[in-house]
């Protein structure tokens, strides 16, 4: 009786034998086929709905850009995007143009007091290994590259106005290093803001404009973040300090 119940064919199928078994298989096959088709249609509907929502969002609203670096930086927490209009710097000069003492102080204020001390927990996440600070157990040296780039640009500025500045750093070798460092930085960041041309009636010509808007990182916030964590002591660069920082995944 038990073995017969295993081979039992439901009463909803009127016929016995191989035909009824084949019909069960056909029914199951059709059910699977309908299920697959239904799943595909459902996915297509969801995809179409998502595209419609995305299209409407991008046509009526400004897109939200997620600007996060691929490599870890402790300054990620200070990132904030903003829209800025670049100035031409011709008729109206900025405080960074010229060669007087006030202009020189403005340049120095861009990057001075930004050498960082970061805890070991953050130093261990860096893609490059950095150095421990003597007398500051558990802290390591760091610096955001934007401030190195600004320092380099300042050196080039001193070399450009060498008759007004006596800067030993503005030597040809250092200037050459700085020019190429800035080149690499510009190519790395690759600003994709669009330059535009407009008709100037008074010139009867099409003229390129340099005062277009750019999507930028808020520099003031990054500088404030760095200064809040700045190293407030002189570092003896000839002093060796042992550390147990693990080797990073990219460059040691």
The pLDDT of residue 143 is above 90: yes
Q: What is the pLDDT of residue 242?
A: 87
Q: Is 50 a member of any domain?
A: yes
Q: What is the mean pLDDT of residues 118-146?
A: 95
| Residue 44 lies in domain | 2-60
Say yes or no: 164 and 88 in one domain. yes
Say yes or no: 164 and 218 in one domain. yes
Long-range contacts of range 194-202, CB-CB < 8 Å, 24 or more positions apart?
none
Say yes or no: 52 and 171 in one domain. no
Q: Is 169 a member of any domain?
A: yes
Q: Is 137 a member of any domain?
A: no
The pair of three-digit structure tokens given for residue 81, joined into one six-digit string: 């995007």
Number of domains in the chain: 2
**120 CB contacts (<8 Å, ≥6 apart)?**
138, 139, 140, 245
In b/e form, how buried is each residue of 129-140, taking b as 16+ CB within 10 angstroms?
bbebbeeeeebb
Model confidence band, residue 88 (pLDDT cutoffs 50, 70, 90): confident
Q: What is the pLDDT of residue 118?
A: 97
For 151-200, write each residue's pLDDT tens digit: 999 999 999 999 899 899 899 999 999 999 999 999 999 999 999 999 99
For 35-64, write each residue's pLDDT tens digit: 556 656 555 555 555 544 444 443 333 444
Say yes or no: 87 and 203 in one domain. yes
Say yes or no: 93 and 183 in one domain. yes
Say yes or no: 87 and 159 in one domain. yes
Say yes or no: 108 and 220 in one domain. yes
Q: Is 215 a member of any domain?
A: yes
The pair of three-digit structure tokens given for residue 137, joined into one six-digit string: 């157990």
Q: Is 35 a member of any domain?
A: yes
Say yes or no: 56 and 84 in one domain. no
Q: Is 154 a member of any domain?
A: yes
Distances (CA, A) of 150 to 34, 117, 119, 145, 158: 64, 20, 25, 9, 12
The pLDDT of residue 112 is above 90: yes
Q: What is the mean pLDDT of residues 123-130?
A: 93
Q: What is the pLDDT of residue 51?
A: 45
Q: Is 191 a member of any domain?
A: yes
How far, rounded to the nearest angstrom, does the alpha carbon of residue 151 sit from its chain's CA centroid?
22
The pLDDT of residue 119 is above 70: yes
Say yes or no: 166 and 222 in one domain. yes
Say yes or no: 165 and 209 in one domain. yes
Global pTM reads: 0.70
Report how far residue 233's alpha carbon sits from residue 28's, in angstroms, rounded to the nearest whole number: 78
Q: Is 248 a member of any domain?
A: no
The pair of three-digit structure tokens given for residue 204, joined into one six-digit string: 């009867």
For 223-232, write each residue's pLDDT tens digit: 999 999 999 9
Indicate if the alpha-carbon torsion angle 85, 88, 92, 97 is positive or negative.
positive
Say yes or no: 41 and 152 in one domain. no
Residue 239, SS3?
Answer: coil
Q: What is the mean pLDDT of residues 123-132?
A: 94
Say yes or no: 98 and 19 in one domain. no
């Amino acid at each position: 009786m038990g073995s017969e119940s295993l081979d039992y064919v439901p009463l909803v199928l009127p016929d016995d034998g191989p035909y009824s078994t084949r019909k069960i298989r056909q029914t199951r096959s059709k059910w699977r086929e309908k299920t697959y088709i239904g799943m595909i249609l459902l996915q297509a509907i969801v995809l179409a709905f998502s595209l419609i929502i995305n299209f409407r969002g991008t046509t009526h609203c400004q897109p939200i850009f997620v600007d996060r670096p691929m490599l870890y930086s402790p300054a990620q927490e200070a990132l904030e995007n903003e829209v800025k209009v670049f100035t031409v710097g011709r008729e109206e000069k900025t405080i960074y143009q010229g060669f007087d003492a006030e202009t020189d102080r403005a340049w120095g204020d861009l990057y001075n007091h930004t050498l960082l001390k970061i805890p070991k927990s953050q130093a261990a996440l860096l893609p490059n290994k950095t150095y421990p600070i003597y007398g500051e157990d558990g802290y390591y040296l760091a610096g955001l590259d934007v401030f190195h780039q600004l320092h380099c640009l300042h050196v080039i500025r001193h070399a450009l106005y060498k008759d007004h500045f006596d800067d030993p750093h503005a030597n040809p070798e250092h200037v050459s290093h700085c020019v190429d460092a800035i080149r690499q930085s510009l190519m790395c960041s690759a600003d994709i803001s669009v330059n535009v041309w407009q008709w100037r009636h008074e010139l009867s010509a099409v003229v390129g404009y340099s005062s277009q808007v750019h999507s930028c990182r808020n520099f003031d916030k990054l500088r404030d973040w760095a200064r809040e964590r700045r190293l407030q002591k002189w570092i003896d660069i000839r002093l060796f300090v042992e550390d147990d920082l693990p080797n990073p995944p990219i460059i040691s």
